Structure 1
Amino acid sequence: MTSYQDRPWLARLGEAGRAPVRARPSVLQAFRDAVRAAPDRTAVAYFDGRLRYAELDALSDAVAGDLAGHGFRPGDRLAMMLQNTPHFVLALLGAWKAGGVVVPVNPMYKADELARLLRDAEATALVCADHAWRGPLHEAVAGTPVRLVRTARDGDFQTRNDPRVLTPPEPGRRPEPGARDLLAAARGPAVPPALAPPRAGDAALISYTSGTGGPPKGAVNTHGNLCYNAERQRRSHRLPPGSVYFALAPLFHITGMVCELSACFAAAGTLALAHRFEPGVVLDAFAEHRPAYTVGPPTAFVALLSHPGVTRDHFASFRVISSGGAPLPPALVDRFHAETGHRLLGGYGLTECSAPCASVPPGARAPVDPVSGTLAVGVPGPDTVVRILDEAGAEVPFGEPGEIAVRGPMVVPGYWRRPRETALTLPGGELRTGDIGFMDPDGWLYVVDRKKDVINASGFKVWPREVEDVLYTHPAVREAAVVGVPDPYRGETVRAYVSLRPGATAAPEELIGYCRERLAAYKYPRRVDVLPELPKTTSGKILRRELRSRG
C-alpha cells in the first residue's frame, strides 16, 4: 500500500501550500514585525474601542515592566483567567516580553478548579476579572504559589457596556486587597526588562486539556509550535493585508489562541473581540467590524443560524469561515451554506497539536465517506505526517480505522512535569491522539470518534458520531449527542440526547423511528431524551461524559 508519509494529497494545496512553512520563531516576533510595518493600524477592536499596534506595543511594554518590577522572572508562569477582552492580549504580550510562560484558564472555572490548576502549574502571577476576584477566587488563591494579582474590568477600552455580555461598571470601585488594576499598571511608567527574544523551542503556554477524558494535563506549547500553525493559517487563507479576524472561539482555548490571535498578528491584521459568545452580540459585531475570517465550534454556528435576527448580510464580508474543536456534521455544513452562502471549512487538531494538524483547504469541498456518512476533516499540511495505526502501532491500509497519530512542527514536546504521560502519549515525539479515524488514498482524513467513546452493543461496535450525524439531518434537531449506557441484555445500548430548533417539535418516538429507518438495527438509539440545551464546555464541545453520568 502507499505509505501515509508519501503525502499524495499535497497537490491540492497549491504551490504555496506544498512549500515548507517558514515561520518566525515566536508570535511575539510576528507582533513586533506588525508594529514596525503598520504602527497606526488597528490591532484590537472591542465594541466601539480601538487599540493601534503602536499603542498595544507600548501598553504591553508597561505590563512587562510592571510584572518584572514585582518579582516576575523569566520562566515564571502567569495564569490568565479572562474572556475575549483587550486585557487578554495585553497580559499575554506583557508576560512574553517579561520572559514568562502563560497559563490560559477557563473563566468558567470555580475556585477549587482554579486553585488546583495554579498549584499544578506553579503559577506565581494571576490576571482575572475584577468581579471574579471579589468572589471566592480571592480565598482560593491564598493557598497557591500566586503572589502577584492583576485585575481587569470588562468595561475598559470601550463605552457601550453592552449588558448582554459585560458586567456593569462600578465607578470608583478599587481592587480588593492584594490586587492592582491591570490597565493602571499598563499606563504606568514601567520599562520592560531587556531580554533576548524567545526562541522557537521555549515554552510559550501551558495549555490545560479540557478534562473531558480525565483530569486536565498541561500541554507545553512552544513559541515555535504556535507560530508554525499561525503562519500556516495565514498562508493558507491568503487574506488581504489588514483583514479583520473575529474571535468567535475563546482566546483561552488553543483554537482561539492560534487560529485567531496568533494568525492575526502573523498577518498584521485586526483582532475583533466581543467579550464572550452571545449570538446577538456576535451578529452585531459581524455587521460592525466586517470580518474576513473566524473560527468556532459547530454549536456556535448552530446558535447563530437559530438567532431570530440573523440575515445573510451578517456573513457577507467573510472570505473564510472555519469550524473546529468538535465534530462538524455534514447536515450543518449544508444548512450553513444554504442560509449564508459560505461553506464551513472543517479542521482537526488538539491542544497537543497547538490547534490544527489537518484542515480543509480554502476553495476545496470536503468529501463525505459513503459508507459511514462521516465528513472529512481535511488534509495534513506540508510539514505534517498523519498516520493511522492499529493496536500494535503498525499502519493500517487506507480506508481502515485506527488510532490517529501525528508528527510535525505543531506537536508539543510534552506535558508539564508529567514524564509518564509524555512517554505514553508522545512516544518518539509522535502524538497518539486517542481518536479513531481513517484516511482515503487521496489523503482526506476522517475522524470517527474518541477511542474511549465507542459503544459495544451485543458485540457490535457503534460509533456515536455516526448516529449523531443521522440525527442532525432531522429538520427539528438543533444539537445531538450519543452515548453508551449499560443494558442487561446487550451489555451496552445506544442512548441519544437532542435539543430542538426554535419552534420545532419532535417526540422521542419519532426520532427513534427516524434513526431506525437509516441505521442498522444495532446502531439506532433505544432511547432519546429531548433537553432544552446540551451541556458543553465553554469552547463549545458537547460533554458526553456529563450526559453519560445521567444514567
Structure 2
Amino acid sequence: MSAYAERPWLDLYPPGTPAGIVPVHGTLLEMFRASVERAPGTEAIRYFDGVLTLADLDAASDALAVALAGHGFLPGDRLAVYVQNNPAFVVGLIAAWKAGGSAVAVNPMNKAREVTYLLADSGATALLCLDELYESVARDVIASGGTNVGTVVTCSPLDWQTRDDPRLFPDPDATRATGRPAGTLDLLTLVREYAGRTPEPHTPAPDDVAVLTYTSGTTGVPKGAMNTHAGMVFNTCTYREWMGLTPDDSVLGVAPLFHITGLVGHLTLALLLPCPLVLAHRFDPGVVLDALREHRPTFTVGAITVFISLSAAPGAASEDFSSLRVVYSGGAPVAPAVIARIREVTGLYIHNCYGLTETNSPSHAVPLHTEAPVDPATGALSVGVPVFDTVVRILDDGGEEVPVGETGEIATYGPQVVPGYWGRPEATAESLPGGELRTGDVGFMDEQGWFYLVDRKKDMINAAGYKVWPREVEDVLYGHPAVREAAVVGVPDEYRGETVKAFVSLKDPDHRQPAPGTGTGPGGATDTDGEREPVTEAGLIAYCRERMAAYKYPRSVVFLDELPKTSTGKILRRELRPDTR
C-alpha cells in the first residue's frame, strides 16, 4: 500500500476528529428546507441595514420559482445568476432549485464576449442580472441571439437595504429613478406579485448539478464544473465540522458568491448552520471594515489579498477584527511573512486551506487551532492536510506516485470532487481519470502528512535548465518590509532561455523615489537616522540575491500601484507575462 493510501495526515487531526463524515441531507434544497423548518426566524442575510430571515428567503425564492415557471422555465433548465454579493444571488440560487433546475454562476466582472460564451455553453434559458449589468452588457448579448435565454429578471444593488452607502452607490437617487430596464422583469416586483404562492414540488437527486461554476480558462476556454448537490453538501458540512462552527456564529462574505469559496464557504454554510451571512455588494476595504465593526461576524474565508487590504485599510485596528474567532485563507499560496505581518496588525492567525472549483472548495485545510509548518528547504507554508474522506497523491508526469517528500502533481480523490465538466467528456477524461482530479498544481507531502503547494505546473520558469518556481521568489519578496504584493513570471532571455522578472506593489508607493540625503541600501531599509531608505529595483534584486540561489533571484523588478487580480483576489500572473511567452 502506498504512503498516500495509508493517510498519515490523519495523525494530525485534533483528538476525537473522525476520518470521515456523513451529511444528514442529500441535497442543498433539502438542507435549506430543514433549516427553515427548524429556525424560520433566524437572520439569514445582513446587507448593510437590511435583514432577511430564513422565512423571508423561503418566501422570496418561492415567489421567484413560481414566476420563472410561469415564464417558461422547465425542470432541468438553468438560471444564470449575474450579480454581485447581493441578497438576490441567494434568492436566485434557491429559486432555481425549487423550480427543478440549477444555477450558472457568472462573474459580474465578465464582459459581453465572456457572458455570451458562458450563457451559450451552459444553455441557460433564464438570466437574473443586476440592472446596471443588463444595460451595459447583457442587453446586447441577449439581442445578439447567440444564447437560449428567453427570460431576464433584473434587480438593483439597492434592493433589501436603505443605507445607500455612497462609497459603493454614489448616485442612488438616479439609480432608483432609472427603474427596471425595458424588456425585463423586476425581481422585487415578482416577489410581491407572486407572494404566498408555492412552486410545484421538485426534488433534486444528490447527483444532480446544483451549480455550474466555470474555471478561469487559464489552460484553454473556461469549462463548466458540475458542482452537484451531494458534493456541495459534503463540503458545506466539512466547513462546519472542520472549523467548529455552530448557529451562534456568523459569516463575513468577503469572497464573491459566484466563486466556489463564496458559494460553499459563505452561502451554503450559512444556510446549513443556520446563521447570518454578512454581505456588502462588492469588496471595498473600508466598507467591509465597517461591516466588521457593525455586525461582528465570527468566521470568514477569503483570498490572502483580502486580508492584506483589510489590515492596511486606513484606521484599521486589532479591535476591529476581534469578533473573528476562525479565519481561513485559500485560493493561492501564502507567504509565511504575510501571515506574520497580518497577525501583527489584526491579532488574527490565518489558517491556510486549499482547493479548486472542481473540489467544491477545500480539499486540504490546516486543522483548527494548529499553526501550519514551514518547509525548511523551500520556505513554503503548508496548505494543510486532506480533509474528511479525502485521499491525495503526488504524481510524476507519467501518473505514478512519487516518494514522500518529492515534488509532483497534486491529485485529489474524495466525495467533494466534481464528476466532470459540462458537455466536455474529453476534458473530463483527461482531468478526472477514474474520478481522481489532476489539479495541475505542483506540490509535495512530508513524512507527517503535511502538504505544500509549490506552484502551477504551467508557471514554472526554465532558466538555463534550472527550474524556478515563482512562488518561492514571491515568498522572499514578501519578506521585505516595504513590499505589499508581489508576482513573479518568466520572460524570454537570449542567454538563459528564460529569466525571472518580478512585479511589486509597495505599502508606500512614495518610497520608490530616492529621498533627499538618503542612500539606497539593499532593498530599502532603515538608515542610521531612523529614516526609511527608498526602495529601488537594484535594492530589491540585491535583497533577493542574498537569500536564494543565483539562478532564482529576479533580474528585473517593475513597480506597480496595483497588481492585476481576479475578482476573487488572486493575482493574475498571466497578465504580467509578455505577449511573446
Tell whether the structures are fold-level matches, with TM greater than 0.5.
yes
Say whether residues 1:163 and 2:161 are aligned partners. Answer: no
Say whether residues 1:421 and 2:422 are aligned partners. Answer: no
Q: Deviations over 1:26-64 (max 9, x none)?
A: 222222111112111111000000011111111111111
Deviation (angstroms), 1:210: 1.5
* Structure 2 counterpart of 1:507, one-letter code: T
Conservation of the 8 A alpha-carbon contact between 2:67 and 2:190:
yes
Conservation of the 8 A alpha-carbon contact between 2:327 and 2:348:
yes
Distance in 2, Cα, partners of 1:548 & 1:265: 41
User: Which sits farther off after the overlay, 13-22 or 415-424?
Assistant: 13-22
Taking structure 1 as reference, are residues 187 and 148 closer, same or farther at Cα in structure 2, changes over 3 Å only? same
Say whether residues 1:439 and 2:448 are aligned partners. Answer: no
Deviation (angstroms), 1:338: 1.7
Q: Deviations over 1:450-491 (max 9, x none)?
A: 001100000000000000000000011000000001100000
Say whether residues 1:469 and 2:505 are aligned partners. Answer: no
Distance in 2, Cα, partners of 1:46 & 1:257: 17
Deviation (angstroms), 1:296: 1.1
The number of aligned residues is: 551
Say whether residues 1:153 and 2:156 are aligned partners. Answer: yes
Conservation of the 8 A alpha-carbon contact between 1:386 and 1:404:
yes
Aligned to 1:97: 98
Distance in 2, Cα, partners of 1:192 & 1:537: 38
Aligned to 1:353: 359
Conservation of the 8 A alpha-carbon contact between 2:213 and 2:357:
yes
Aligned to 1:328: 334
Aligned to 2:554: 525
Conservation of the 8 A alpha-carbon contact between 2:154 and 2:181:
no
- TM-score by length of structure 2 reads 0.93
Aligned to 2:22: 22
Aligned to 2:515: none
Distance in 2, Cα, partners of 1:370 & 1:423: 37
Deviation (angstroms), 1:192: 3.5
* Structure 2 counterpart of 1:72, one-letter code: F
Distance in 1, Cα, partners of 2:217 & 2:241: 32
Distance in 2, Cα, partners of 1:82 & 1:549: 32
* Structure 1 counterpart of 2:181, one-letter code: E
Distance in 1, Cα, partners of 2:511 & 2:57: 47
Q: Deviations over 1:434-463 (max 9, x none)?
A: 110000111111010000110000000000
Deviation (angstroms), 1:100: 1.1
Distance in 2, Cα, partners of 1:495 & 1:273: 38
Q: Is the partner of 1:409 in helix, strand or coil? A: coil
> What's the C-alpha RMSD, in Å, of the aligned pairs?
1.4
Distance in 1, Cα, partners of 2:202 & 2:88: 24
Distance in 1, Cα, partners of 2:179 & 2:342: 46
Distance in 1, Cα, partners of 2:21 & 2:238: 6
Structure 1's unaligned 5+ residue stretches are none
Deviation (angstroms), 1:16: 5.2
Distance in 1, Cα, partners of 2:380 & 2:102: 38
Distance in 2, Cα, partners of 1:11 & 1:199: 35
Aligned to 1:276: 282
Distance in 2, Cα, partners of 1:218 & 1:193: 27
Q: Deviations over 1:287-313 (max 9, x none)?
A: 011001011111111111111110101
Deviation (angstroms), 1:119: 0.6
> Mapping of 1:399-414 within 5 angstroms?
399-414=405-420
Conservation of the 8 A alpha-carbon contact between 1:239 and 1:319:
no
Q: Deviations over 1:354-411 (max 9, x none)?
A: 1110001110110000000011001001200000001111111111000000000000
2:544 to 511, 515, 531: 515
Deviation (angstroms), 1:12: 2.8
Distance in 2, Cα, partners of 1:16 & 1:55: 38
Distance in 2, Cα, partners of 1:378 & 1:225: 20
Distance in 1, Cα, partners of 2:71 & 2:29: 22
Aligned to 1:307: 313
Q: Is the partner of 2:340 in helix, strand or coil? A: helix
Q: Deviations over 1:107-131 (max 9, x none)?
A: 1111121111111111111111111
* Structure 1 counterpart of 2:576, one-letter code: L
Distance in 2, Cα, partners of 1:192 & 1:127: 20
Aligned to 1:8: 8
Q: Is the partner of 1:367 in helix, strand or coil? A: coil
User: Which sits farther off after the overlay, 357-366 or 2-11?
Assistant: 2-11
Aligned to 1:262: 268
Conservation of the 8 A alpha-carbon contact between 1:130 and 1:175:
yes
Q: Is the partner of 1:187 in helix, strand or coil? A: helix
Distance in 2, Cα, partners of 1:504 & 1:126: 47
Distance in 2, Cα, partners of 1:470 & 1:206: 37
Distance in 2, Cα, partners of 1:223 & 1:534: 36
Conservation of the 8 A alpha-carbon contact between 1:384 and 1:408:
yes
* Structure 1 counterpart of 2:189, one-letter code: A
Distance in 2, Cα, partners of 1:303 & 1:214: 31
Taking structure 1 as reference, are residues 427 and 74 closer, same or farther at Cα in structure 2, changes over 3 Å only? same
Say whether residues 1:539 and 2:568 are aligned partners. Answer: yes
> Mapping of 1:11-50 within 5 angstroms?
11-14=11-14, 17-23=17-23, 24-50=25-51
Aligned to 2:188: 183
Conservation of the 8 A alpha-carbon contact between 1:379 and 1:445:
yes
Deviation (angstroms), 1:2: 5.2
Conservation of the 8 A alpha-carbon contact between 1:84 and 1:250:
yes
User: Which sits farther off after the overlay, 156-165 or 397-406?
Assistant: 156-165
User: Which sits farther off after the overlay, 109-118 or 226-235?
Assistant: 109-118
Distance in 2, Cα, partners of 1:15 & 1:165: 46
Q: Deviations over 1:404-430 (max 9, x none)?
A: 000000000000000110000000100
Taking structure 1 as reference, are residues 238 and 268 closer, same or farther at Cα in structure 2, changes over 3 Å only? same
Deviation (angstroms), 1:261: 0.8
Aligned to 1:482: 488
Aligned to 2:78: 77
* Structure 2 counterpart of 1:178, one-letter code: G
User: Which sits farther off after the overlay, 240-249 or 470-479?
Assistant: 240-249
Identity %: 54
* Structure 1 counterpart of 2:67, one-letter code: D
Conservation of the 8 A alpha-carbon contact between 2:382 and 2:451:
yes
Distance in 2, Cα, partners of 1:10 & 1:212: 33
Deviation (angstroms), 1:19: 4.2
Q: Is the partner of 1:383 in helix, strand or coil? A: coil
Distance in 1, Cα, partners of 2:306 & 2:545: 29
Aligned to 1:342: 348
Aligned to 1:115: 116
Deviation (angstroms), 1:197: 2.2
User: Which sits farther off after the overlay, 249-258 or 232-241?
Assistant: 232-241
Distance in 1, Cα, partners of 2:4 & 2:394: 8
Deviation (angstroms), 1:194: 2.5
> Mapping of 1:164-313 within 5 angstroms?
164-166=167-169, 168-169=171-172, 170-189=175-194, 191-313=197-319
Distance in 2, Cα, partners of 1:238 & 1:334: 24
Aligned to 2:125: 124
- TM-score by length of structure 1 reads 0.98
Deviation (angstroms), 1:550: 6.0
* Structure 1 counterpart of 2:187, one-letter code: L
Distance in 2, Cα, partners of 1:296 & 1:225: 20
Conservation of the 8 A alpha-carbon contact between 2:14 and 2:367:
no
* Structure 2 counterpart of 1:10, one-letter code: L
Q: Is the partner of 1:542 in helix, strand or coil? A: coil
